[in-house]
Structure 1
C-alpha cells in the first residue's frame, strides 16, 4: 500500500529548512519556509503538519503574519489549540464516540463531551510528520496511521503537499490510501486574522462571503440536528458579503448555542472534480483578501468563540474571543451516522483526495 509516486519523488531545488524544536524524546521538529512574491511567505512545521506563520502584504505592500500560533514548539505541545494544524482522521465531530462500518462497531475516545472531535485524543495534529519531498515551491509531508489508531480501522498512509501555485496562492493537496475500509476526513485548521495577529484586534469587522444556500443547525453538543436548513432569513446567510460581527449578537438559537458561528455550510452533496469558491474574506482596513476554493462538500465556519485569553501566542498576544476565524473545508460533521450526508468512507483500492486553494490579494 503506497501513495501515488508523484508525491514521493525528491525535488531538485532545496527548500528553506531549519530545526524548530525537539519533542520530549529528542526527535527534531522542522520548519520549512516557502516564499512567494512581494513578501508572501508560509512557514510549515512537521509537528501537526502545521502552518506556523503566513505573511501576506496589504494594499500598501506591508506584510503581516495573519495566522494564530506560537514562536516556539513548547506551547504547541503544552496546549492542544489546533492553531494551523492538519486534522485527522476525522475532522469535526462524530456523535457518541463510536461508529459502525460493515456491521462492526468502532468505539472512539469521547474528547468533546459525549462526542469525538478532530480525530480523538491524539489526532494527526499531535503527530510529527515526515518530510518526503521539498523544494523552493513545495513540501510534501507524510504520516502513517496504524490500524486501530484512536479506534479507527485500517492502516492509513497519508500525504499532504503544500505548494505555491501563484505569487500569493497556496494549494493544499491531501491524499490517503488504506488497507481496510475506514473513515477519512482531513482538513486544515487555520486561525486567520487578515489585519495581522500582531494588532491584537478581532475579526468582527472582516467581511465574509460564503456562497452556500444551506447550513447544518446543531444541538448543544455541536452535532447536526437533522439535514441542511436554508440560510435565507437567518444570520447564517453570507451569500452576499456581511461583516462577521454584524449579526453575531442576534437573538438566534443557533448563535446562542455556539456563542457565535461554529457551523458547517453545505457547498455540495459530494466532492466536486475541481475546486470552486467556498468563501471570500476581506479586511477593509488593510485591504487584504483571502479566497478559499475547495473540492470538498462542506466548509466549517468558526468565529473564534472559545478563545478566552488563556493562551498566549506570537507577539506576546493573549488570544481572545473572535481574535481569528476558521474556514475548514471538509465532509459534513457526523457523516458516519447520517446516510444522507456525503460519505467519508474510504475503501481499499480507492484514494482519498482533497484539494483546497488559499488565494490572497489586496484591494
Structure 2
C-alpha cells in the first residue's frame, strides 16, 4: 500500500515550502516540493533490491533557490523550451517575452514556474500543486490558472498531469525537467554512457545553431538521432559529436517528434535501461514531442562541479532529461502542433514515468 507523508522543506520569501513523499512496498519512493513543483528525489530498487536516488537535486531549499540554474526536477512554464526572438503573435498582436538565452526566450523567462512557491492540496494519494500566473507575467497574455497533479501508486509509476485554463488566448507548453541517471544521481558521465535508450520517433525538428526550429524536419534514419531501436547512449553521443558537435561541449538537446496514433491517448515515448543495475525507466505521454537533453549545460571537467544532494558533484553528461512537450517555438510555426490555449478550453498534459529493474531479457544493443 502506498504511504504519503508531508514535512517542512524550509521557507521561501517567508512562505513555508512543503515536501511530500510517497513510498511503496517495493521500496520505491518519490519526493516533490512546493517550490517550483519540483521532483526532489526518486528512489528505485535495483534487481537486487538495493535502492538508489536516480534524479539530480538538492537537499535543501537554498540549493534550489540559489544553485538551480539547470532547472533540476522543476516544473517549466508557461512555455517550456525556446521561443525564437523572444516574441510571438496572437490574432495580430505581438507579445514580447524575456530574452533570457541570447536573443531568445527559454523555459518561461526570468521568473518562470520553476521559481515560485506553489499552493498545495492533498486528495487521497494525489498532491495537487496550484499557481495563478497573472496577465502580463513574463510578458504572456491572460490570467493562467495551472495545476500540476502528482500521484504514486503500487505499480511504482509516477503519474503527472498538467492542467491549465486562461482568460485570454496565450501560449502554454508545460513540462517537467528532471535529470535522470539510473545508476544513481551521483554516478556521473561514465555510467550515463552505459545506459541503453530508445525513443519512439522517426524525425526531429531541425534547428539553427541557437536551437531555434527552422520549421523543417530531419528524418532520423541513418543519423545519430535514430534511437528507434535500443542503442547504447554513449555510442550514440559519440556519433552525434562526430557529425554535429564536439562531445566536450554538447550532444543531445533536440526535440524528437513522437510517433503518435491518437493525440488524446497515452503513447510510448521512451525506454532507458541501465544494464549494470537493471533499473529501467519507461515514459508514456499524450504530447507530440520529447526533448532529449544530455545535461550539456552542467559544469565541464575543467570547472567546479555543481554541488548536489549529499555533496555529490554534478557534471556535464552526468544525466539525461526526457521533457515531454509541444514542439519548441510552436507558436511561431503554423505547421507545428499548436501551443495556443484559448479561453474555455483546458490544457491537459499527461506523462507517466514507469520504473523497475530487470536483469533478464534486456534489449539487444545495436551499434551506431
Task: Point out where structure 1 has 5 or more consecutive residues left out of the alignment.
Answer: 1-12
Task: Look up the match of 1:160.
Answer: 148
Task: Look up the match of 1:311.
Answer: 306
User: How many residues matched?
Assistant: 349
C-alpha distance in 2 between matches for 1:267 and 1:259: 23
Task: Look up the match of 1:4.
Answer: none
User: Is the 8 Å Cα contact of residues 261 and 267 (structure 2) preserved in structure 1?
Assistant: no
Task: Look up the match of 1:234.
Answer: 223
Which residue, 5, 15, 20 being the options, matches 1:32? 20
Matches of residues 151-230 of structure 1 in structure 2 within 5 Å? Answer: 151-202=139-190, 203-230=192-219
Q: Secondary structure at the match of 2:127?
A: strand
User: Is the 8 Å Cα contact of residues 220 and 257 (structure 1) preserved in structure 2?
Assistant: no
Task: Look up the match of 1:3.
Answer: none
The CA deviation at 1:226 is: 3.1
Task: Look up the match of 2:243.
Answer: 252
Question: Is residue 93 of structure 2 the alignment partner of residue 104 of structure 1?
Answer: yes
Q: Secondary structure at the match of 1:162?
A: strand
The CA deviation at 1:268 is: 4.7
Task: Look up the match of 1:9.
Answer: none
Q: Segments of 4+ in structure 1 off by > 2 A?
A: 132-135, 198-202, 253-258, 268-271
Question: Is residue 35 of structure 2 the alignment partner of residue 47 of structure 1?
Answer: yes
Question: Is residue 266 of structure 2 the alignment partner of residue 278 of structure 1?
Answer: no
Question: Is residue 122 of structure 2 the alignment partner of residue 127 of structure 1?
Answer: no
The CA deviation at 1:270 is: 9.6
The CA deviation at 1:197 is: 1.5
Q: 1:115 to 1:103 in 2, by over 3 A?
A: same
Matches of residues 62-77 of structure 1 in structure 2 within 5 Å? Answer: 62-77=50-65
Matches of residues 262-273 of structure 1 in structure 2 within 5 Å? Answer: 262-268=253-259, 272-273=263-264
User: Is the 8 Å Cα contact of residues 187 and 318 (structure 2) preserved in structure 1?
Assistant: no
C-alpha distance in 2 between matches for 1:258 and 1:296: 29
Question: Is residue 343 of structure 2 the alignment partner of residue 343 of structure 1?
Answer: no
User: Is the 8 Å Cα contact of residues 15 and 134 (structure 1) preserved in structure 2?
Assistant: no
C-alpha distance in 2 between matches for 1:53 and 1:100: 38
C-alpha distance in 2 between matches for 1:148 and 1:18: 34
The CA deviation at 1:255 is: 6.8
The CA deviation at 1:36 is: 2.1
User: Is the 8 Å Cα contact of residues 92 and 117 (structure 1) preserved in structure 2?
Assistant: yes
Which residue, 336, 354, 360 being the options, matches 2:355? 360
User: Is the 8 Å Cα contact of residues 300 and 327 (structure 1) preserved in structure 2?
Assistant: yes
User: Is the 8 Å Cα contact of residues 35 and 118 (structure 2) preserved in structure 1?
Assistant: yes
Aligned-residue Cα RMSD (Å) equals: 1.8
Q: TM-score by structure 2 length? A: 0.91
User: Is the 8 Å Cα contact of residues 87 and 97 (structure 2) preserved in structure 1?
Assistant: yes
Q: Secondary structure at the match of 2:310?
A: helix
Q: Secondary structure at the match of 1:321?
A: coil
**Comparing 308-317 with 352-361, which one deviates more in the overlay?**
308-317
Q: TM-score by structure 1 length? A: 0.92
